[in-house]
Structure 1
Amino acid sequence: MIATIVGIYTLYIFVRLYVSVMQIGYINQVKCKGAVLMGEKEYRDAAAYAVAKEKLGMVETFVEFLLFLVWMGGMMAWLDGALAIESETLHTITAVIGMILINSLVQLPFGWIAKFKIDAEFGFNRSTTAQFIKDTVIGAVLTVIIGSFIVWIVAMIITSSALWWVWSFAFIFAVVIAINMLFPTIRALFFDKVTPLENGELREKIEELMNKTGFVSSGVYVSDASKRDARLNAYFGGLGKTKRVVLFDTLIEKLSPSELIAVLGHELGHFAHGDLYKNIAMVGAMLFGMFAIFGNLPDTLYMELGVAQSPQIVMMLFVLLLPVVSFVIMPLFGMMSRHNEYEADRTGAELGGAEYLVNALKKLVAENKSFPLSHPLYRFFHTTHPPVVDRLRALGYDIHVNADEGYADPCPND
């Protein structure tokens, strides 16, 4: 059974690496065919940025594979046996949270390189080492506190019911919904400082837009995200009465009020179409499938691992194999999400004007150095948004992409 699981995980890693290789090759080819939505230099910079991130991701994927082999090769059993804790509950919590923290520690250098090397080189990073350490420590503390509570409840469920996987699914799904409701508050408390948007033309237009669509919000806020990053973004967070509109200060700085309204109209389109609830339902279906799998693993697996079928081992296996299941399900989620993006664009164009949404999308691509083209395999496995060129065409913007042939030699000035 272990050989089967290792084989499945190896195939998963191979596919991920293959998709990354195809994406890098595709970008290096099309970057020489004429700039799309940017000037030539900006286009090449965006290509270099995308390739740099993909290469780092490949190294991280390989390290993830090695870490998986170490856990399956005996480290999981060693950690479980090395914890001399009499309390079964505390033993379970320490083992599972310990595994999560060890994995996070191994992945930490990649986050640092992405921010202080790659993002810094391309002009995005505005964070300091002190800020990075602070954010990492806060994230770890929240993981320990919230994670310990979740592990405790799931452990009790596993030991008290033969159908533990059904009740565990119900509990975790409730946690997912709660996190969606509390996310804006948690982010404002521990990471970004958010302040109410000042009275003025922009606030009046946003409130008029929300009133027009019947969107009830707890407020419109501005996040000081520029202290960490130069990219443009915004989000609608929360559920029910906890919903709030949060605009990054970088977005307000770069987009005109009319362009902002069009972008917010797009986001309101998601709410009007119930996309958030569709996403939650999809996550629920994914979780149910995963719990059904992990709730019915054969006893021979635990025998081969040399461990008892204890709550901590069940949850450690869940953590270890979660990326594989997510990767398999992601294409289905991506197809649904890309369809929803087109629908939200149509709503954004109706509410804010197609020309303003087009201008906003073009600015977002340029300012965020988002390379506008990608390999079909990469889109299939990774993207939740359609290619921006397709979105612009759907909005009536005439754009030509020369993707028929590339240069045999390196690009000029490379």
Structure 2
Amino acid sequence: MLMMIIGIYTIFVLITIYASIMQIGYVNQAKRGKAVLLSDADFLKAGNYSVAKEKMSIASAFIDYLLFIIWIGFGIKALENTILFENEAVMNIAIVMGFLIIGSVVSLPFSYYEKFILDEKFGFNKSSMSQWIKDTAISFAMTLIFGSIVVWGVYLIISNFTLWWLWSFLFIFSVVILINMLYPAFRAMFFDKLTPLKDEKLDSEIKSLMEKTGFVSSGVFVSDASKRDARLNAYFGGFGKAKRVVLFDTLIEKLSTRELLAVLGHELGHFAHGDIYKNIGLVGAMLFAMFGIFGNLPESLYLELGLSQAPYVLIILLLLFMPVLGFLMMPIMGIVSRHNEYEADKMGSELAGVGGEVELASALKKLVTENRSFPLSHPIYIFFHYTHPPVLERLKALGVDIAELDKSALEGTCQANI
């Protein structure tokens, strides 16, 4: 059984690395060809950024695999022998948190490299070292505090219920929903400074869009994301009346009003079609499968590992294999998500009014340019990693003739209002 578990994880890592290698080869060849959507210089730069990211991904996969072998081989046992508390609940929490802390520490060099070497090289990083240290410390503290609470909850369930895996699934699924509800508030509290949108005309037009789809929000806010990153983004967060519309200041700076409304119309399309609930349902299915599998592991596996069936062992095994099931679920989630994106694009162009498809297409092209998104990818990579359709396919669906794209519109910065 142990060899089968290791074999499954090995196959997962090999497929992950293979997809990245295929993507690197594909992009390296494509970036030397005719530029698509971007200027020649930006096309090459986006290709180089994509390749660099994949190389880092491969290195990270090797480290994760090494860690997996260490944890399965002797790591969990070492934690068990090192972290000793008389109180069983405290010991379980401490061992699981020790596992998470070690994983976080190992990932720090990758986080530093991505932020201060890779993103710095390609013009994304706007964060200072002190800001990065502060953000990392806050994330670390939140992991300790909230992670401990969640682990304690799972420990109590495992210790008191025969069908612990079912009740643990319901508990964790509830936590996932709660995180979605509280994410905007926590992000505003600890990371981003959110201020109400001051442009009254734009605020009025956004609220008019929301009324068309029945979207009730606590307000439209602007995030000072530019202090950390140059990428463009926006998000809707929360549930019920606590929902917020959050625009990155970089997005407002780079997109015209009509383009911005088309992008928000796209996001409102997700709301109108209930896509957030579909996604949560898919996550719930993945969690149910994971808890169902690990709630019924044979005792022989624990004997092979030389470990007891203590709650902390079960939780660590769940955490170790969560990426595997997530990767296996990704193609299914990707198919559903890509379909939803096309539908949201359609609604976004309709909500933007006459010529909405042109405005959304223009916004998509600017997002590609500003975010250094290489517009071409290997089919295998798309299958395993893409939650959104390739931008070229989205533009075709909006009626844009790819062969006749006007790249000159991508070269300048648009004003916030038109």
Q: TM-score range by the shorter chain?
A: over 0.9
Q: Distance in 2 between matches of 1:174 and 1:9?
A: 28
Match of residue 278 from structure 1: 278
Instruction: Name the Cα RMSD after superposition.
Output: 0.9
Correspondence 1:274-353 to 2 at 5 A: 274-352=274-352, 353=356
Q: How many residues align?
A: 401
Match of residue 158 from structure 1: 158
Q: Distance in 2 between matches of 1:293 and 1:240?
A: 34
Correspondence 1:149-228 to 2 at 5 A: 149-228=149-228
* 1:204 Cα deviation from its structure 2 partner: 1.4
Match of residue 394 from structure 1: 397
* 1:213 Cα deviation from its structure 2 partner: 2.1
Match of residue 269 from structure 1: 269
Q: Distance in 2 between matches of 1:375 and 1:300?
A: 42
Q: Distance in 1 between matches of 2:2 and 2:212?
A: 57
Decide which moves more: 205-214 or 94-103. Answer: 205-214
1:115-149 deviations in Å (ceiling 9; x for gaps): 10010000000001111111111001101111111
Match of residue 96 from structure 1: 96
Correspondence 1:98-177 to 2 at 5 A: 98-177=98-177
Is there any run of 5+ residues in structure 1 with no aligned partner, and where?
402-414
DSSP-derived class of the 2:245 partner: strand
Q: Distance in 1 between matches of 2:121 and 2:403?
A: 30
Higher relative contact order (CA 8 A, sep 6+): 1
Runs (4+) of structure 1 exceeding 3 A deviation are none
- TM-score under structure 2 normalisation? 0.95
What letter matches 2:122 in structure 1?
F
Q: Distance in 2 between matches of 1:315 and 1:211?
A: 44
Q: Distance in 1 between matches of 2:403 and 2:32?
A: 15
What letter matches 1:382 in structure 2?
H
Decide which moves more: 96-105 or 208-217. Answer: 208-217
Match of residue 407 from structure 2: none
% identity of equivalent residues: 58
Is there any run of 5+ residues in structure 2 with no aligned partner, and where?
405-418
Q: Distance in 2 between matches of 1:42 and 1:177?
A: 39
What letter matches 1:15 in structure 2?
I
1:149-187 deviations in Å (ceiling 9; x for gaps): 111111010011110000000000000010000000010
1:237 aligns with 2:237: yes
Q: Distance in 2 between matches of 1:236 and 1:61?
A: 31
1:206-250 deviations in Å (ceiling 9; x for gaps): 111112222110100000000000000000111111111000000
* 1:190 Cα deviation from its structure 2 partner: 0.5
Match of residue 411 from structure 1: none
- TM-score under structure 1 normalisation? 0.96
What letter matches 1:76 in structure 2?
I
What letter matches 1:390 in structure 2?
E
Match of residue 412 from structure 1: none
Q: Distance in 1 between matches of 2:45 and 2:83?
A: 50
* 1:30 Cα deviation from its structure 2 partner: 1.1
DSSP-derived class of the 1:400 partner: helix
* 1:199 Cα deviation from its structure 2 partner: 4.0
* 1:200 Cα deviation from its structure 2 partner: 2.1
Q: Distance in 2 between matches of 1:380 and 1:232?
A: 25
Match of residue 380 from structure 1: 383
